[in-house]
Amino acid sequence: MSSPELAVHTLYSSHHGWLNAWLRTRLGNAADAADLAQDTFVRLLQRTERLELKAPRAFLRTIAKGLVIDHWRREEIERAYLQTIAHLPEAETPSAEARALVIELLESVARMLEGLRPKVRQAFLLAQCEGLTHKQIAAHMGLSLRSVERYVADALYHCYLLRYEN
């Protein structure tokens, strides 16, 4: 066994129990905690070159945090989506299947936009979802046209880096 894999193996046997407990206090539920602990080690295996053994628990926590955030994002999007469509008349309510697809779709967009400042995200989404011109966005958000232009460009650049230079 090569040394990076040995390192993962050692990490797993020494810290799996601890990680499980750590996740459980964040998520408040044992089944989700077990899933995310497992996922944490799967991610590690795909990234063995990044192993940092001086502080193994801090390292595991960094990965696990990312997964906790994914998990919460999913829950928040489900909640927000159901709330947004709650007022629709029954005839226009999407089927369970259509809802699941839309949630998955919005999740991938949200993941892409994560880390953007709220104003940058809002300006970008107004342009993308609602098709507003930069002038309309500036009026709507009470910003200068220059700021809106910069925000929209920043957001696209952020997406580019995430997609092509990760």
Partner 1 sequence: MPVDNALLERRNEPQHQVVKQAIQWLLRLRNNHGNSRLSRQCEQWRAEHHEHELAWQRVQSLQAELSHTLCAVPGTQVAFNTLENSAQGLSRRQALKLLSGAALIGSAAWMTKDTAAWQQWRADYATATGERRGFQLPDGTRIELNTASAVDLDYTAQQRLIKLTRGEIIVSCGGADEGSAFERPLRVESRHGTYDPQDARFILRQDGDCTRLNVTHGQVAIHTAGASVQAVAGQSYLIDDQRIRPAPVSDMDTGAWVDGLIVTRNMRLGDFLIEVGRYRQGFLNCAPAVADLRLSGVFRLEDTDKLLAILPQTLPVRLRYRTRWWVTLEQMA
**Using CB under 8 A as the criterion, what x/- string covers residues 107-146 for binding partner 1?**
-xxxxxxxx--x--xx--xx-xxx--xx------------
The answer to whether residue 165 forms part of the interface with partner 1 (CB under 8 A) is yes
Calculate the CA dihedral of residues 66, 68, 74, 79 and round it to 10 degrees. -140
The reply on whether position 7 binds partner 1 by CB under 8 A is no
The one-character DSSP state at 53 is -
CA distance 81 to 106: 9
Q: Smallest distance from the beta carbon of 116 to partner 1, in angstroms?
A: 9
Residue closer to partner 1 by CB (options 26, 57) is 26
Binder among 14, 80, 119, 144 for partner 1 (CB under 8 A): 80
Please list, in sequence order, all residues whose beta carbon lies within 8 angstroms of the beta carbon of residue 41, skipping any fewer than 6 positions away: 8, 11, 12, 16
Q: Which two tokens stand for residue 53?
A: 């053994």
Residue 54 found at the interface with partner 1 (CB under 8 A): no
Tell whether residue 100 is a contact of partner 1 (CB under 8 A): no
Is 117 within 8 Å of 123 (Cβ atoms)? no
- Under 8 Å between Cβ of 51 and 7: yes
What count of residues does the chain have?
166
Asked if residue 15 binds partner 1 (CB under 8 A), the reply is no
Least Cβ distance, residue 31 to partner 1 (angstroms): 18
CB atoms within 10 A of CB 88: 10
Among the listed residues 79, 119, 144, 146, the single contact to partner 1 using CB under 8 A: 79
C-alpha span between 49 and 3 (Å, rounded): 10
User: Would you tell me which residues interact with partner 1 (CB under 8 A)?
Assistant: 1-2, 5, 9, 26, 42-43, 45-47, 62-63, 65-70, 72-73, 76-77, 79-81, 83-85, 88, 92, 94, 98, 101-102, 104-106, 108-115, 118, 121-122, 125-126, 128-130, 133-134, 149, 152-153, 156-157, 159-160, 162-166
